[in-house]
Chain A
Amino acid sequence: MNDRSGFDAFVHARGPVLARTAYLLTGDHHLAEDLVQAALVQAARHWERIHTSPEAYVRRAMYHQNISWWRRRRFTVTSLESYDSPAPASDPTLRLTLEQALRRLTPRQRTVLVLRYFEDLTEVQTAAELGISSGAVKSMSRQALQRLRVLAPELADLVGADA
């Protein structure tokens, strides 16, 4: 299998799974698509080095790229006033409420939450993926769950009563 066909096979096999993670990281379908594509371009660039284990590389690229993008665009996303106010509870389903609340976490908090509760990584593995200390992971994870409870009190059953 040559480089190009190996890359294509990887994208075909793992693209949908990566896109799902990207959506949870960004909270936006279009951004998620951009995030996956940017990480895949990076993977193609370094394919000789990573072709034996491309998924780990692409995932890390997504985690870090998303935070990097957020730093550039955060001033236009939301005002501080709305940061802590509860999300509108008019949505009929819990899932929509969760989706709205997730969007209002910081990317670091959302990334930690996704790695811990969607990817099922431990604190140590999450810390290794993000290049931060496990103490920071624990702290961010706790803050993320607390913020979810503030933003959407109706999610208490889902995220626990208290950290």
Chain B
Amino acid sequence: MSTDLRGELDALARTQTFSPDPSAWDRGRRARRRSRIARGAAALAVVAAVAGAAALAVRPGPVAPAGDVVNDGDGAIPSVIEPTNGDFEDDWAIGRASVALGGNHLVLVGAEDGRYHRFAVPGIAVALSPDGYRVAWWSGGDATPDGDRILIADLRTGDILRWAHNRGSGARVTTLTWRTDSTQLLWNGRSEGTAAAGLIDVTGPSESPDIEGRYGSRGIPSSSTEEVALPSDGEVTAAPFLRVPADRGGTTGERVDRALPTDLYPDGATVTPVGWVDEDHVVAIIDPPPSDVVERPRLAVFTAPDVAESEWTWREFLPRLPPEATSFAVDLIPDLDGDPGQELTHDFGEASASEEGPNRVPYVLGGLVALLAGVAFLRMMQKQA
């Protein structure tokens, strides 16, 4: 079907001619200049906001912070993910990240401060390692400046590994999946019309080709590799898993299901695993069909099917996920203590606003510097006028 349809679409498309508009470049550059002026005006508004924040900082602060950072000192997954526009960054050494967002560009959320970092690379098959220290993506193919490569950025050093996958011959990558130890990256895709896969060890680096077909599954194995959490094929009423006995070397397995709670998802949901918190708990994006009450997918942690059904638990802990948020540093989720009220994410906004004491000094200094910058900008605008 698709071959015939593609042929007909191609023939249709070829009826379109193209006449380049020589003014496109000049129009684009004019728009750029206009937007710069608008940004200057916006900067003034920011200066006013910073000055306001500085004024707030010198006032007595609230008594207690809004919440402790879970995994004290290591960072946390934010309680709200709302990507915003901003400038692109060049330096990948941003430290540990908690969330990676794909789409038009790659966006990373800092694990310790919740800041958004935007990078001008294609957000294709983006995968953040479970420990949050590496992020991988596919270049997009031969026509891109990097060529057909899988790129892996080390967020501690800022180094980028440009790996010529499929033993150098490349392949169209559909998914990238980190193993739980954050050192092995599985790619799945297609090469010359057939399915292809390989396991990259980033510490070598080296690549194991998919000779035995053992990497064909796009699931995420647990640390013991005895269970594999699989993505569902559309909406399902039970999350699919593969149970792999240790003596089979990971090549075959028995399909087992883990029922979804029907009270939460009466019409089922699409299940996309993103990692394992521990040997018994999986984190997955749960995407129920749209309805009056369901707007966006959410993140949930739940027990794997090998746990006795009487001990099964299910907890949604990050609702309203934007569709671009597809990869999470699951090691940042704290060890589960069985308390249904346990904080699994952190509200960076409230926590940072409630800091007090000596930490006010940077706010005040920042506010003064921003004010001076604003005055300088105003004088420059007056001179230009």
Is residue A112 within 8 Å, beta carbon to beta carbon, of the partner chain?
no
| B383 proximity list for chain A (CB < 8 A) | none
CA distance A136 to B297 in the complex (A): 11
Q: Are A160 and B1 in contact (CB under 8 A)?
A: yes
Task: For A45, give its contact among B28, B104, B190 (CB under 8 Å).
Answer: B28
Chain B 228-270, CB-CB to A under 8 Å as 1, else 0, gives 0000001100000000000000000000000000000000001
CA distance A46 to B12 in the complex (A): 31
Is residue B17 within 8 Å, beta carbon to beta carbon, of the partner chain?
yes
Is residue A72 within 8 Å, beta carbon to beta carbon, of the partner chain?
no
Chain B, interface residues (CB within 8 Å), range:
35 or more
How many A-B Cβ pairs are below 8 Å? 134
Task: For A118, give its contact among B6, B25, B144, B172 (CB under 8 Å).
Answer: B6
Task: For A128, give its contact among B12, B21, B124 (CB under 8 Å).
Answer: B124
- Return B117 CB to nearest CB of chain A, in Å: 15
Within 78-131 of A, Cβ neighbours of B (below 8 Å) are at: 94-95, 98-99, 102, 114, 116-118, 120, 122, 124-125, 127-128, 131
| B1 proximity list for chain A (CB < 8 A) | 158-160
Residue picked from A99, A120, A134, most chain B C-beta under 10 Å: A134
Given A60-B104, A159-B5, does the pair A95, B12 have CB atoms closer than 8 Å? yes
Q: Are B8 and A95 in contact (CB under 8 A)?
A: yes
Is residue A32 within 8 Å, beta carbon to beta carbon, of the partner chain?
yes
Q: Are B25 and A53 in contact (CB under 8 A)?
A: no
CA distance A161 to B145 in the complex (A): 41
Task: For A125, give its contact among B8, B124, B143 (CB under 8 Å).
Answer: B124
Chain A, interface residues (CB within 8 Å), range:
35 or more
Task: For B125, give its contact among A29, A46, A124 (CB under 8 Å).
Answer: A124
Is residue A68 within 8 Å, beta carbon to beta carbon, of the partner chain?
no
| B6 proximity list for chain A (CB < 8 A) | 117-118, 120
Which residue of B has the minimal Cβ distance to A48?
B32
Residue picked from A32, A134, A135, A158, most chain B C-beta under 10 Å: A135
- Return B236 CB to nearest CB of chain A, in Å: 11
Given A24-B9, A159-B5, does the pair A44, B24 have CB atoms closer than 8 Å? yes
Task: For B20, give its contact among A15, A23, A120 (CB under 8 Å).
Answer: A15
Chain A 132-154, CB-CB to B under 8 Å as 1, else 0, gives 11111010000000000000000
Within 5-41 of B, Cβ neighbours of A (below 8 Å) are at: 5-6, 8-21, 24-29, 31-32, 35
| A117 proximity list for chain B (CB < 8 A) | 2, 5-6, 9
| B121 proximity list for chain A (CB < 8 A) | 53
**Extra inter-chain contacts (17) besides given A32-B16, A158-B4, A159-B1, CB under 8 Å:** A11-B20, A12-B20, A16-B17, A40-B21, A40-B24, A41-B24, A44-B27, A44-B32, A45-B32, A55-B143, A56-B140, A95-B12, A118-B13, A122-B174, A131-B103, A135-B270, A136-B323
The 9 closest A-B pairs by CB, nearest first: A44-B28, A20-B13, A23-B16, A19-B18, A135-B270, A45-B28, A160-B1, A52-B145, A16-B18
